[in-house]
Amino acid sequence: MSDSTASKGHSSDRPSDAELLARASGARKSLQTAISAKVVGQEEVIDLMLVALLARGHALLVGVPGLAKTLLVASLAEALDLSFGRVQFTPDLLPADITGTDVLQEDEDNQGVVHRRVRFLPGPIFHNLILADEINRTPPKTQAALLQAMQERRVTVGTTTHELPDPFQVFATRNPIEQEGTYPLPEAQLDRFLLEIHVEYPSEAEEREIARRTTSADVGKVPRVLEASEVRALQALVPRIPVTDAAVALAVALGRATRPKGVRGHASDAVPREVNEYVRFGAGPRGSQALVLAAKARAALRGEAAADVEDVRALVVPVLRHRLVMSYRAEAEGVFDTDVLKSVLASVS
């Protein structure tokens, strides 16, 4: 068999994009069901986490204590054949506690001669899925170590750079109501998160089920849904998903409409009044890029052959909310980023 024939035979073993789309749609339903073995409700949150997963993006989960933010990430890891690491962020956490450190190791050979060498001990960040729990409780120096890993998917310890495993994704949690002893995340780090996902209170029926399930002897087990190779194949599919010109135009228009007029001359003509009054700085070009990428992942999870404007509209809030720098006036008048984004969506659509 010639090399070209062998190559054709090998490529024919790979699933087509149509088959991968069907697999992505089926995986979405299977993962929702699997995670529900431990988590009651929160279907929309799980959907957004899957968007981040397929888009190879990082996600920030925001919610008050007790809403299963940590359990959501841990359950997703259980359902996937990916390594999982957890970092509990505290004020005394050091960068080396995350990235790892070089240690001096002594080995004795057969002749009794001691040889010394420097060996790298990898930290908990060397996993596929990372749970960064209460990320705003650690100082900026430690946050910066995580920032490099999120941005470059590698870490530098001493003079050596170490590549992180593929895929590498951070799911961080943040408590929005407790400010004492916390360190606000810098805008540069917030911008590295593809999505900011807000975890809301459960309904009354869901809360009854939570109370019943968590106080019983039976502990739910999350079944394995996807192998590591399948996760990588679905992630590789997302960039190949077509996107309509209208969807790209909408994503760019939405990003530009979040920038107040007069800010370095980059504002759109469609800037609503709420942006000019309550926003200091709007989303940069990465916001538009994130909208298009997340829209592709959402389309794949629904088995759609292309991403359209509806996918973009559905993701405006989780993609753009953390990229807005609100003014002091907004805080004083109780105006939230979601209020501004609703006005932006109405003015552009």
Domains of the chain: 16-90+126-216+227-240 (3.40.50.300), 241-349 (1.10.8.80)
Q: What is the pLDDT of residue 180?
A: 66
pTM above 0.75, yes or no: yes
Q: What is the pLDDT of residue 241?
A: 92
Q: What is the pLDDT of residue 5?
A: 43
Q: What is the pLDDT of residue 51?
A: 94
Q: Where are the beta strands (DSSP E) in 150-296?
A: 154-157, 160-163, 169-174, 193-198, 279-281
Q: Count H helices, E strands: the chain? A: 16, 11
279-281 vs 114-122, strand pairing mode = unpaired
- pLDDT under 50 in the chain at which residues? 1-11
Q: What is the pLDDT of residue 301?
A: 92
Angle between helices 228-237 and 17-35 (to 10 degrees): 120
pLDDT exceeding 90 applies to what percent of the chain?
Answer: 25
Cβ atoms within 10 A of the Cβ of 140, count? 12
Q: What is the pLDDT of residue 265?
A: 52
Q: What is the mean pLDDT of the chain?
A: 84
Q: What is the pLDDT of residue 187?
A: 77
Q: What is the pLDDT of residue 9?
A: 42
Q: How many residues does the chain have?
A: 349
